Homo-oligomer: A and B are copies of this chain.
Amino acid sequence: MSDDLFKSALSEREGVAQPPSVNPYWKKNQRKKKEKLPIEQMAERILLGDRTVLSQAITLVESISVEHTAMAQELIDKLLPYSGNSVRIGITGVPGVGKSTFIESFGKYVTGLGHKLAVLAIDPSSERSKGSILGDKTRMEELSTDPDAFIRPSPSGLTLGGVARKTREVITLCEAAGFDVIIVETVGVGQSETVVKSMVDFFLLLMLSGAGDELQGIKRGIMEMADAIVINKADGDNVDKANFAKSQYQAALRLFPPCESGWEVPVKTCSAIKKINIDAVWGMIEEYRNFTTGNGYFDHHRKQQSVKIFYDWMETTLVTIFFDNQKIKEEIDRLIPEIQNGTLSPYIAGNIILDQMKENGRK
């Protein structure tokens, strides 16, 4: 019942027309009540593992309305102390590497061990509508019907920074709901790997066995981020090729500087479709967790991530607020042609803008 109320409160806030039968007086009261109560209730229900409420909470967190953001922050604040008890795994790889099949096989194996698994995606370029939930569930057919697995697609219509923030908050919600293995999947193009790397404990790079040019498809920088390389589709005729690729990657990895964690990046082969060596991949992640918990890096790394998020967000927000200011915009537009013509030094222009800002501040 209260879920329905919450839903209607949400749609009201989003400006969706209300049914004409709703009494305006009641609506007003309900709204007032909903701004305080449901967050408390939602938090409780999430802590009990209620997946329906978890889904609603994620929708709330992903909303871009100012009012929802405030509510979402309140919810996150309540749940943060109950989050963190998970291993967060980032998975990337070029399209065609078999990411969905891998996550399906790996996920089923992990839930089979008694874990609760949440699968999230980061795809800032995605124009996917709500239909994508179906899309993601279709491509992971078995996992989507697994009562111990929870699949959520990337929020759409946001910048990469926006997706990053929302996904971090969704991780908090999922952990509070008792999910102890979190997979964050990225599409494997552009900047999204860096973002995923910044929110996970373990970053897994899926590769293909093939001939010679394996290193071409993926940027060196992404290989440098990986905590493990797993060569998929190592089955049938492909086994030899996969083993050859494995030795190539091992040689390439030797050229890289050692990881801060002290962990030596392993290269493994597996076949997601034939379910070969999936247990070894999980074993490796458990080994990483034990190793980095033992030497203190696991906690240290999470603390570093949080502080980095704080500073990154502060910097981006400061710069955005500044350049969004109408007066500053106009002044910059006035100065840019002079900067371009070389009649005004970019540094002097910068000081002009700063002086004006200070003057505005004094007014």
Contacts and interface: CB of A to CB of B under 8 A. Distances in A.
Interface of A: 73, 76-77, 80-81, 83-84, 165, 169, 172, 220, 302-303, 306-307, 309-310, 313-315, 317-319, 321-322, 335-336, 339-340, 342-351, 353-354, 361
Contacts of A317: 350, 354
A73 B319 contact: no
A306 B339 CA distance: 6
A345 B77 contact: yes
Given A80-B342, A307-B340, A345-B77, A350 B313 contact: yes
A307 B345 CA distance: 10
B314 A345 contact: no
A38 B320 CA distance: 41
Given A307-B336, A310-B350, A318-B318, A343 B73 contact: no
A84 B342 contact: yes
17 contacts: A77-B344, A77-B345, A77-B348, A80-B342, A84-B342, A307-B336, A307-B340, A307-B346, A309-B347, A310-B336, A310-B346, A310-B349, A314-B322, A315-B319, A318-B318, A319-B319, A321-B354
Contacts of A350: 310, 313-314, 317
Which 3 pairs across A and B sit closest by C-beta, in order of nearness? Answer: A310-B346, A309-B346, A303-B340
Nearest to A305: B346
Contact of A318 (B77, B302, B322): B322
Contacts of A80: 342-345
B361 A306 contact: no
Nearest to A308: B346
Contacts of A335: 310
Contact of A346 (B306, B315, B339, B344): B306
B307 A83 contact: no
B84 A348 contact: no
A322 B320 CA distance: 14
A346 B220 contact: no
Given A172-B345, A306-B339, A318-B318, 16 more contacts: A73-B347, A77-B344, A77-B345, A77-B348, A80-B342, A80-B343, A84-B342, A302-B342, A307-B339, A309-B347, A310-B336, A310-B339, A310-B346, A310-B350, A318-B322, A319-B319
Contacts of A347: 73, 76, 165, 169, 309, 313
A165 B349 CA distance: 13
A345 B307 CA distance: 10
A346 B76 CA distance: 11
A348 B336 CA distance: 35
B314 A353 contact: yes
Contacts of A315: 315, 319
Contacts of A345: 73, 76-77, 80, 169, 172
A351 B307 contact: no
A347 B61 CA distance: 13
Contacts of A351: 73
B76 A348 contact: yes
Given A73-B347, A76-B348, A342 B309 contact: no
A206 to B, nearest CB: 23
Contacts of A307: 336, 339-340, 346
